[in-house]
């Protein structure tokens, strides 16, 4: 039988202390994802491309054989809706909206969209993304 003690184990203290630490600020990531989705909904391909990482913009252009702004329109993406819900981890963030999941990467001037038009292929499986600048 385990003896009860009035002491809190050191591991529990550490876990509780770390739980109080916040991760990266998600507000800017949510704002970038919302701006991306708004530009997509308005058909503003130039802004959509400006919000992509250079790798994602290049991947879109390469896949469609045109510059990014022309290529974006041919992808047939539907903008996500609703309030963005973000989780940030160091240099990356995931923002979920109704109808889209957006992956972002931190850059020198804020967050940029690394992947979008994403949907889960199955529970606990990788996402399938229409734009993927991984």
Q: For residues 128 and 121, is the Cβ–Cβ distance under 8 A?
A: yes
Does any domain span residue 49? yes
Per-residue pLDDT of the chain (134 residues; tens, 9 = 90+): 444 333 333 333 333 333 334 456 789 999 999 999 999 999 999 999 999 999 999 999 998 888 999 999 888 888 888 888 889 998 999 999 888 899 999 988 899 999 999 887 777 768 889 999 98
The answer to the question of residue 5 being in a domain is: no
> 34 in a domain, yes or no?
yes
Tokens 């991984």 correspond to: 134
Number of domain units in the chain: 1
Instruction: Report pLDDT for 23.
Output: 53
- Domain span at 73: 24-132
pLDDT, position 74: 86
CATH number at residue 121: 3.10.450
Residue 32 counted as domain residue: yes
For the chain, the straight-line distance linking the first and the last C-alpha, in angstroms and rounded, comes to 52
60 within some domain: yes
């Amino acid at each position: 039988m385990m003896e009860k003690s009035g002491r809190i184990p050191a591991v529990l203290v550490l876990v509780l202390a770390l739980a109080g630490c916040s991760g990266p600020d998600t507000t800017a990531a949510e704002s970038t994802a919302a701006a991306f989705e708004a530009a997509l909904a308005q058909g503003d391909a130039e802004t959509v491309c400006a919000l992509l990482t250079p790798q994602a913009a290049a991947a879109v252009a390469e896949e469609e054989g045109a510059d990014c702004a022309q290529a974006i329109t041919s992808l047939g993406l539907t903008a996500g809706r609703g309030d963005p819900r973000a989780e940030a981890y160091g240099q990356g963030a995931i923002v979920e909206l109704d109808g889209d999941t957006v992956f972002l990467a931190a850059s020198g001037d804020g967050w940029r969209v690394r992947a979008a038009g994403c949907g889960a292929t199955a529970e606990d499986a990788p996402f399938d993304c229409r734009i993927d600048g991984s």
